[in-house]
Chain A
Amino acid sequence: MSFLTYLINGLSLGSIYAIIALGYTMVYGIAKMLNFAHGDIIMIGSYIIFSAVTTSGLPPFAGLLIAILGCTVLGVVTERVAYRPLRQASSKLAVLITAIGVSYLLQNVALLVFGADAKSFTSLIPWKGISLAGGALQIKGITIVTIVVSLIILFCLQTFIHKTKNGQAMLAVAEDKGAATLMGIDVNKTIAITFAIGSSLAAIAGALLCSAYPTITPYIGAMPGIKAFVAAVFGGIGSIPGAMIGGIVLGIVEILSRTYISSQLADAIVFGILIIVLLVKPTGLLGKQIQEKV
């Protein structure tokens, strides 16, 4: 039974990774950039909820809304100010390094405003959860909520992308920016929308992450950010179902290896599996294979 508990915990952590990875994979697929600051948006979102709910006593739902709004604005503004001017730069590395600069900036702003000490976060989900098999299997409320939320997000995103005009525009821009422009698609607007969606997902991920692991520091975003990036690559970057699968597999592997192998080597195992997957399928599980034309 304890195995099942760990499996469910892994599924829950994986769902959070998946939500972050969805943002990563959309931004990568459409803007073709690795947004190293994505994890820090999660951190900022968590601090906003912390200030709204724990400090100011607003209801959790209101706090979440403010955080989503705040992160969306933050994501769109950073894209406009820091990334867009570099989109046509002669090296792809330029925007990568700028994203690193943005990451440092967000961390240090948080450090100045909230200090380096860990803040304890009050879970947004007061529900104790359910107890199955006569108490042998305990599932926490946050665990269930996380899994359900991630499924809803996946469903909404798929619908948005395949059923709306803006979603179709995203697919077109991801495929070929030049051709999309010729088709009358506003590439700048489409990329801005992508950042808005990615950042609002980061805010939700922040709320869930801090409800499950209730401490916040200016650096909490970095590691989940990297893991989610790994999940996105694992699933095939640019692929939405891939990010979902990648996130969940990663979460489960991490929790199980932490429990049964070694807590210190858990990350090494996660990264090891990524390497193996990429060697077998160089563009990830669901990634498209692109052959260079000679």
Chain B
Amino acid sequence: MALLDIDHLSISFGGLQAVLDFNVEIEKGELYGLIGPNGAGKTTVFNLLTGVYQPDEGIIRLDGVDITGHSTEAINHDGIARTFQNIRLFKALSVIDNVKAGLHERFPYPTIAGILKLPSYRKAEQEMDEEAMKLLEVFGLAPERDTLAANLPYGAQRKLEIARAMATNPKLLLLDEPAAGMNPNETGELMDTIRFIRDEFDMTVLLIEHDMKLVSGICDRLTVLNFGRILAEGETKAVLNDPEVIKAYLGD
């Protein structure tokens, strides 16, 4: 059984059919790419998957469970975490606090324990610190633990967003243009990190990306969207050599 199974997903805004009949099955541990020209509806698919929009039609199953119609918050509890195309960090919080916010649901203690600094508060906070540092180390952000997120360089902000999403311990990680604005060096590092996450945490990743080097370098399979519809899908290499796909990218 596929980890993520999307059937006939469709949504329209006013008269605009943003996504029509989107289907995909992603296996556990797969690195899956979603590509297509600007405005093809890729981010809309992410927003549908995370409950930001509710689909007009279609079913989303995660690990065999129907999660269609769940709220954004509930979908995170179901096991999907994401990053955003326009980075959305908690800018006035430190790097480690951004990750600890992601750990929020996993280390609960009552409000009163926090106010009175009871032992349960100390224990949970210590565990969160350790867990957060582990993640920061994976992303090479450990030395920046006390820096304000807003003061991080751009590439580090993108990494921190992934670390925060990982902190919620998802089954499926959605990355919206993780390499946008990165230089080739940083992109290379990012590719290594994504592979590492997949291997180390047995993570399944669905990513939107324009950087073809990253896509061809790490994605096992791809779906190409154009005008909200699936143009092609399959093994990365085959899809990227598909004349239809090349035409869509280069224009007529």
**Real complex partners, A and B?**
yes
Q: Which residues of A contact B (CB under 8 A)?
A: 294
Ordered by A's residue number, 4 sampled pairs between the chains whose C-beta atoms are within 8 Å are: A294-B43, A294-B47, A294-B52, A294-B84
1/0 per residue B102-144: CB within 8 Å of A? 0000000000000000000000000000000000000000000
How far is the CB of A91 from the nearest CB of chain B, in Å?
Answer: 12
User: How many B residues touch the partner, as a band?
Assistant: under 10
Main secondary structure of the interface of A (DSSP, over half): loop
Contacts of A294 in B (CB 8 A): 43, 47, 52, 84
Q: Which residues between 53 and 85 of chain B lie within 8 Å of chain A, taking CB atoms?
A: 84
Contacts of B47 in A (CB 8 A): 294
Q: In whole angstroms, how far apart are the Cα atoms of A294 and B50 in the complex?
A: 11
* A292 (CB) vs chain B CBs: closest residue: B52
Query: Which 4 interchain pairs have the tightest Cβ spacing?
Result: A294-B52, A294-B47, A294-B84, A294-B43
How far is the CB of A93 from the nearest CB of chain B, in Å?
Answer: 15
How far is the CB of B122 from the nearest CB of chain A, in Å?
Answer: 34
How far is the CB of A135 from the nearest CB of chain B, in Å?
Answer: 58
How far is the CB of B204 from the nearest CB of chain A, in Å?
Answer: 22
* B43 (CB) vs chain A CBs: closest residue: A294
Q: In whole angstroms, how far apart are the Cα atoms of A294 and B47 in the complex?
A: 8
Q: In whole angstroms, how far apart are the Cα atoms of A294 and B18 in the complex?
A: 15
How far is the CB of A125 from the nearest CB of chain B, in Å?
Answer: 51
How far is the CB of A259 from the nearest CB of chain B, in Å?
Answer: 46
* A294 (CB) vs chain B CBs: closest residue: B52
1/0 per residue B26-47: CB within 8 Å of A? 0000000000000000010001
1/0 per residue B76-102: CB within 8 Å of A? 000000001000000000000000000
How far is the CB of A11 from the nearest CB of chain B, in Å?
Answer: 39
How far is the CB of A290 from the nearest CB of chain B, in Å?
Answer: 15
Contacts of B43 in A (CB 8 A): 294
Q: In whole angstroms, how far apart are the Cα atoms of A294 and B84 in the complex?
A: 8
How far is the CB of A164 from the nearest CB of chain B, in Å?
Answer: 32
Contacts of B84 in A (CB 8 A): 294
* B88 (CB) vs chain A CBs: closest residue: A294
* B176 (CB) vs chain A CBs: closest residue: A294
Q: In whole angstroms, how far apart are the Cα atoms of A294 and B176 in the complex?
A: 11
Q: In whole angstroms, how far apart are the Cα atoms of A261 and B47 in the complex?
A: 50
* B50 (CB) vs chain A CBs: closest residue: A294
How far is the CB of B84 from the nearest CB of chain A, in Å?
Answer: 7
Contacts of B52 in A (CB 8 A): 294
How far is the CB of B20 from the nearest CB of chain A, in Å?
Answer: 20
How far is the CB of B208 from the nearest CB of chain A, in Å?
Answer: 13
* A293 (CB) vs chain B CBs: closest residue: B86
* B53 (CB) vs chain A CBs: closest residue: A294
Q: In whole angstroms, how far apart are the Cα atoms of A80 and B154 in the complex?
A: 36
Q: In whole angstroms, how far apart are the Cα atoms of A294 and B85 in the complex?
A: 8
